[in-house]
Amino acid sequence: MAKRKRRVVVTGGAGFLGSHLCDRFIKEGMKVVCLDNLITGSLKNVKHLSKNKDFDFLKHDVSKEIKIKGPVDYVLHFASPASPVDYLKHPIPTLKVGSLGTHNTVGLAKLKKARYLLASTSEIYGDPLEHPQKETYWGHVNPIGPRGVYDEAKRFAEAITLAYHRYHKVDVRIVRIFNTYGPRMNIKDGRVVPNFIYQAMHNKSLTVYGNGRQTRSFCYYSDLIEGIYRLLFSKAVGQPVNIGNPTEFTILQFAKLVLKLSGAKSKIVYKPLPIDDPRQRRPNIGLAKKYLDWTPKVKLEDGLQETIDWFQKNVK
């Protein structure tokens, strides 16, 4: 009798990162159930999987009851608007998917006796007073500011995930994702990578907010997916784990690199800094190194060139 293939549920599976996770699990010989309500996800991201017998797509809002027939081995909750443009446009759904959606998905894991992985974010650190940020840092967040709908939803999601772990003994993992970029990003989602690439592609001025000295660390999607995969199959470390690239760049440095790699002749213009925009963001990845034997491999210049090439080929 043939051994049953492991089965994984990925919420937000038609999104940027969710779709790459679906690819990875299919490649590893697993069955994938992809859930997405397509508020910010796109069927284009999983179209290539549509005829694969091991892939199922269900259009569903995970803030509502989830019903999955048959066995489930892993549940990964990646459903949520993730860019300021998207979560400011959809503030209530963002709060609901972080609260009700997490409740429903971790409940599904409990019901199916499945391992659960929550996609959290570096945004839970807010505008950090500690640099670089370790997982033990509690954060510096404005709970009622415009970004609070995302930040606090993720903070609640972590709390309920660990409550299910402590009270119901659900086997859980939490990944805190730092700025990630790569193919399948929505070019109009407002985040700095697609924003600069879009502006450069259309010979528009690159918009730098503030003086451009605020910093970010950029992780290529393939490095992040590898880290998440290792975390899912690792022994539980009992706390969230940062996954990101600790190499830090100013936004102005990044803008100049986009111009260099794209060959655009665009100018750089400066606009006021958005409310509660963090001044610096860089992960301490000591836990990922220790428990997952993981470090990012792709240099920013290489990953950014691949991303620019993908946008030029696939996006008008």
The Cα 261–Cα 133 span in angstroms is 30
Indicate the helix (H) or strand (E) that contains 181: strand 180-181
Cβ atoms < 10 Å from Cβ of 34: 28
- Long-range pairs, 162-170, Cβ under 8 A, ≥24: 164/106, 164/107, 164/109, 164/110, 164/116, 168/110, 170/106, 170/109, 170/110, 170/116
Distance CA 31, CA 5 (A): 6
Which of 5, 180, 10, 173 minimizes the C-alpha distance to 79? 10
Instruction: List the catalytic residues.
Output: 150
Q: Which two tokens stand for residue 104?
A: 């429903």
Alpha-carbon distances, residue 236 vs 52, 165, 272 (angstroms): 31, 11, 43
- Token duo for residue 274: 């958005």
Amino acid symbol at 163: A
The label of the residue with tokens 């990845």 reads 285
158 contacts 175 by C-beta, under 8 angstroms: no
Rounded to whole angstroms, how far apart are CA atoms 224 and 13? Answer: 15
Provide the 3-class DSSP secondary structure of residue 126.
strand
C-alpha gyration radius of the chain: 19
Preceding omega of 194 cis (within 30 degrees of 0): no
Tokens found for residue 214: 């605020």
Residues 6+ apart with CB under 8 A from 295: 285, 288, 289
Give the Cα separation of 249 and 247 in Å (integer). Answer: 7
